[in-house]
């Protein structure tokens, strides 16, 4: 765990970015594996607000609706996490 903290607080930005990417990718694969093999089908159907998006009939309107929803949610997470720091990791 100390090595992970050292890599995330390294002086080189490229080292920090790559180590964060590897850490997040590892968590993504682990969570995906757990969800795929242990959760039943349609367990979250209708839970997320994105399922109620009024998507259009063509590809462009559906793409823009999903893209804008994700952009708003992701920007909200980015702003919220900038106010939080865990010791020396922002």
pLDDT tens readout for residues 48-87: 665 666 666 778 877 887 888 888 888 888 888 777 766 6
31, 36, 39, 41: CA torsion to nearest 10:
140
What is the domain range of residue 34?
Answer: 1-39
Please give the tally of structural domains in the chain.
2
Residues 34, 61 within the same domain: no
Residues 49, 86 within the same domain: yes
Residue 30 confidence (pLDDT): 94
Residues 86, 52 within the same domain: yes
Contact 50, 69 (CB under 8 A): yes
Residues 62, 78 within the same domain: yes
Q: Across the strands, what pairs with 86?
A: 89
Q: For a pLDDT cut of 70, what percent of the chain falls above it? A: 77
Residues 30, 69 within the same domain: no
Token digits of residue 13: 């930005």
């Amino acid at each position: 765990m100390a090595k992970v903290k050292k890599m995330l607080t390294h002086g080189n930005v490229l080292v920090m970015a790559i180590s964060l990417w590897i850490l997040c990718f590892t968590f993504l694969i682990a969570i995906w594996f757990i969800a795929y093999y242990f959760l039943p089908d349609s367990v979250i159907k209708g839970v997320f607000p994105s399922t109620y998006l009024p998507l259009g009939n063509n590809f462009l309107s559906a793409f823009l609706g999903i893209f804008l929803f994700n952009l708003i949610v992701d920007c909200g997470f980015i702003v919220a996490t900038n106010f939080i720091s865990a010791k020396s990791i922002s």
